[in-house]
C-alpha cells in the first residue's frame, strides 16, 4: 500500500467539511489557559500576569482567558504557572469538560484522563473524581499535575479503561471519555503527516467502541457522559456514537447549547454510512482562534 501523501490528507479532510484542511493549516493566533480555582481567584491571577506585562483576554468563562500565541512558551516560566494557579488548555477541551455540567454531589469518572486537565475541572465541582489512565508514564505525569494543582478529591488508577465497567458497573453520576484517537486536529501540516493513515484511524475506531461501551456501562441510570476526540475522522466520531446507539436502546444523545459560529452539527452520513438522526445532536468544533478541532457528544442513560 502506498504511503499517504499530504494531498491525500487534504482531500480526506475536505471531504468531511469544505476548507477544513485550510482551517487546520492556518497559523494559530492565540491560546487559552484556565485559572485553578483551588489555588487562586481570576482577579488575583490577572493582577500577577499584568505585573509581568501580560494582558489576557476574557472568554465566555469567568475563569478562562486567552493570550497571543507568542506567549505560549513564555507563560510556563512565570511563577503563577509553576505554583499551579493556572493550567494551559485548549478552549475546546475546557468547553467540553464544562458541558458535562458536574454537580457538587457527583462522582465523576474520567476514563482516559491524562494529562488530567479535565479531571481538574471536574474536581472543582464534584464530590469526587476517579481518573483512569492506562499508560504508566502518562499516569505518573498526571499524578504530578494533580499534586501541583493542590487537588484533594481525585483518585487515580493505572488501569485499562476498556475493562473498568466490569468492576464498577453503574457507579458514576457523570463520565467523561476523551478517547485516544488519530489526533488529526494536532497534526502540524508544515511538518508533514508521517504518522497519519486510514489504518491508524480504523485501529483507534475499534478501541473507541470498546471504551464507549465501558463508559456507558459505568454510568448510573439517568447519568450523563461525554464522548470526545481531537480528530476529524467520522469513523472515530459519528460512527462510534452511532455504534453505541445501536447497541443500547436506553442511550440518548442530548443537544449541547452554544453560540459559536465554528461549532457545527455532527454528520448524518459519510461515504456509504448512514447514522442515526440523533447523532446530529453531537458537535464538531472547527479549528478557529483558541479552539482546536474537536468532536463531542453528550449522552444520557435512561
The set of catalytic residues is 230
Query: In terms of DSSP H, where are the helices of 149-234?
Result: 198-218
* In contact, 175 and 215? CB cutoff 8 Å: yes
Q: How far apart are CA 104 and CA 262, in angstroms?
A: 31
| Phi, psi of 177, rounded to the nearest 5 degrees | -125, 100
Q: How far apart are CA 212 and CA 210, in angstroms?
A: 6
Cα-based angle 98, 242, 108 (whole degrees, multiple of 5): 30
Q: If DSSP codes are grouped into helix, strand and coil, which group holds residue 228?
A: strand
Q: Give the residue among 220, 216, 221 at the shortest CA–CA distance from 172.
A: 220
Q: C-alpha grid cell for residue 124?
A: 472543582
In terms of residues, how long is the chain? 302
The DSSP bridge partners found for residue 65 are 33, 58
Q: Give the residue among 64, 87, 93, 28 at the shortest CA–CA distance from 230.
A: 93
Amino acid at each position: 500500500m502506498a504511503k499517504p501523501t499530504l494531498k491525500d490528507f487534504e482531500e480526506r479532510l475536505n471531504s468531511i467539511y469544505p476548507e477544513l484542511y485550510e482551517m487546520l493549516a492556518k497559523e494559530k493566533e492565540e491560546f487559552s489557559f484556565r485559572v485553578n480555582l483551588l489555588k487562586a481567584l481570576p482577579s488575583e491571577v490577572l493582577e500577577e500576569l499584568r505585573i509581568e506585562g501580560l494582558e489576557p483576554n476574557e472568554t465566555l468563562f469567568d475563569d478562562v482567558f486567552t493570550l497571543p500565541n507568542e506567549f505560549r512558551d513564555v507563560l510556563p516560566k512565570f511563577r503563577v504557572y509553576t505554583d499551579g494557579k493556572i493550567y494551559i488548555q485548549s478552549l475546546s477541551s475546557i468547553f467540553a469538560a464544562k458541558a458535562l455540567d458536574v454537580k457538587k454531589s457527583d462522582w465523576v469518572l474520567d476514563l482516559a484522563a491524562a494529562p488530567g486537565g479535565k479531571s481538574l475541572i471536574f474536581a472543582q465541582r464534584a464530590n469526587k473524581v476517579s481518573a483512569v489512565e492506562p499508560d504508566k508514564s502518562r499516569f505518573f505525569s498526571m499524578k504530578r499535575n494533580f499534586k501541583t494543582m493542590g487537588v484533594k478529591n481525585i483518585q487515580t488508577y493505572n488501569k485499562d479503561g476498556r475493562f473498568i465497567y466490569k468492576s464498577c458497573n453503574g457507579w458514576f453520576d457523570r463520565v467523561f471519555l476523551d478517547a485516544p484517537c488519530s489526533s488529526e486536529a494536532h497534526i502540524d501540516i508544515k511538518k508533514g503527516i508521517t504518522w497519519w493513515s486510514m489504518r491508524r484511524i480504523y485501529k483507534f475506531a475499534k478501541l473507541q467502541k470498546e471504551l464507549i461501551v465501558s463508559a456507558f456501562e459505568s454510568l448510573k441510570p439517568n447519568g450523563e457522559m461525554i464522548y470526545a476526540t481531537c480528530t476529524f475522522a467520522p469513523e472515530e466520531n459519528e460512527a462510534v456514537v452511532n455504534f453505541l446507539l445501536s447497541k443500547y436502546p436506553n442511550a440518548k444523545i442530548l443537544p449541547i447549547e452554544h453560540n459559536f459560529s465554528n461549532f457545527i452539527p455532527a454528520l448524518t452520513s459519510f461515504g456509504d454510512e448512514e447514522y442515526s438522526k440523533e447523532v446530529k445532536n453531537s458537535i464538531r468544533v472547527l479549528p478557529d482562534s483558541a479552539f482546536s478541532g474537536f468532536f463531542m457528544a453528550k449522552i444520557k442513560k435512561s
